[in-house]
Amino acid sequence: MNFEANTLFSCDALTLLERLPSEVVTLAYLDPPWNTVKSRELSDEQYASYLSKVVQQIRRTLTDQGSLFFHWSPTSPLDIRLVMNQVFGDQPKYEITWHRKIVGNFRDRGLKVDNDFILVYSKADEPIYNPIYRPLTNNEKAAYHFMDERGLFRGGDLTMLGDRPLAQFTWRGYQPPPRRSWRFPLDKLEALALDNRIYFPASGGLPRIKQYLADHPGVEIGTTWEDIPSVAATLRERTGYLSQKPLALMERIVQLASNAGDQILDPFCGSGTTLVAAQLLNRHWWGADNSVEAHQVTVTRLVTICGLEAGSNYAVVAEADIMAQTAVDASYRDIIASVAEIAKLQREMSDLTDHLLSLKKLMNIGEDDTEGVEKAIEQMQHWITITVTNQSNSLESYISVVCSWLTGWDLLDKASQSFLPQAELLFENIASTSDYSPFIIQYCRALENELLTKLFAVYADDLHSRHHDINGFLAKDINDDKTRKFAKSVQKRESAYTLGEMNFILGLMKEGGQTLGASALLQDFRRFAFRYFSERIVDKTYLDQIDRINKDFRCKAAHPYVLDSEIAQRCRDQVRACLNELILSYKGGASNTDSYM
């Protein structure tokens, strides 16, 4: 179907969303029914699952600069954040509280509920955001009580906090206070004074820069909206449609997160307010609803307010026509549908975070204190294991997430098949204000484990099977400073290697190195490694990648830093790439009786 820029669809939201093209919507507004006959027929878990599918499809249709505004009521029994955060893998960019001044009796624990919240999500870090300003109040204007030829003004501070020796000079007999500096250099101060833009108080005190009322853009509206009443509070807009939203509210949202010519989507368009706002602001729009009443109200409003005739100025598409189209994408990621289960997990994650922060306060370890780092990591791994105990159903749903980016799930070691879903679960359920160190440790643990089980542990077993006098073979390497630790580990068949240690050993195996030339162990290990892997395993670029992961993420996760979601996302990207390289270069099944000597 060639979807026209302005179209009204008579169908279920999910039916339409599965057939819309990808990455074309700049702004999606979602105000799904939650207190209707249909929604009440479903359990909270079923309705959460349905909404998660709707949101997953909307996310697919969004452009990189697009946003989803999810309008919800605090009187709903379902906390929609629990669903949204899983789909987008992050907390909302911001949350708007709309004080709707409604006339009604919605109450919660005896208190009248007169506000909704609107959660704003996006795929990228910098979605479209056009700041909107409100005029100054009379009280705010009263601060501008001085007057000159340019108009009303107030005095602004010409100094700023901070010791900047070059900006602490004496100017016209004035000196900045202690620990403060001039905001401008000397020549700029003189230019402002000559242009009569500096106010010298007659009563003494530092001069101040003139800030004119006429230059004030207004006050940015922020995230608390108290200036837009609900439709129920006024007769002018009422259509009789129960969940109708005020046009001023939708115009503000459209202006805030889109530009002229952008595509707006409302898959539960109800009385059509979003479509009217988009049309009045020169945007394109798609709206859908399966209610006959909603369709009729929307068509009427598009005629009376916008002068648009159905079929002439915009397309009208029936459900049968939509159903006849092939779905672009009908695949869905499972979410934790149980609200109680998510709440329980959030409490456990909060406890884990408290443990971690307590540990970091107690740790007094330096950057190079390897032993201290490893002990901290061991303690974190213990807490992680406790946290994900009894979460088997939740973890199973994250296996598909790992399979979506990994080249070979079946090639993973069993431990890694546990670490990675645990890590994904941790990432999705730690609030953005929390420390992502547990996630990072678990992700790096999987990479560490794959190197160990696919190469180092297998090599130790193979070497012992080929050499009856293992001590004699390793004697020279045990006495060498660079290979001693590796030789002793192989001798004892130890399975405790850090990511840094394994990377160091692989780095010694580069062709032409002096340490390699003098070490029978490294030469034998190199031949063995190339039978199990391609030579990519000792490629400098690959080793540098592991080294960065170890230093930038794994070690720092055990130090007293707070690692946020952005750092965790970088860790996830780099470890994923590194694990895929590892799996792709892995030959496996190389163990045989051939001699490597």
pLDDT at 257: 97
DSSP of 81-120: HHHHHHHHTS--SEEEEEE----S--EETTEE--EEEEEE
Rounded to an integer, what distance in angstroms lies between the CA atom of residue 546 and that of residue 574? Answer: 9
pLDDT at 395: 67
The amino acid occupying position 505 is I
pTM above 0.75, yes or no: no
Measure CA of the first residue to CA of the last residue in the chain; give whole Å: 67
The amino acid occupying position 44 is D
**Six token digits for residue 95:** 């949350």
Rounded to an integer, what distance in angstroms lies between the CA atom of residue 231 and that of residue 218? Answer: 26
pLDDT at 48: 83
pLDDT at 593: 37
pLDDT at 108: 47
pLDDT at 260: 96
- Which residue ranges of the chain lie beneath pLDDT 70? 1, 34-42, 101-113, 232-235, 336-350, 352-374, 379-395, 431-434, 560, 589-597
pLDDT at 399: 85
**Six token digits for residue 89:** 């893998």
Rounded to an integer, what distance in angstroms lies between the CA atom of residue 333 and that of residue 81? Answer: 17
Strand order in the sheet with 94-99: 224-225, 94-99, 115-122, 62-72, 25-30, 263-266, 284-288, 6-10, 315-318
109 sits in the region (left: phi over 0; alpha: psi -120 to 50; else beta) called: left
Partners of residue 157 on adjacent β-strands: 208
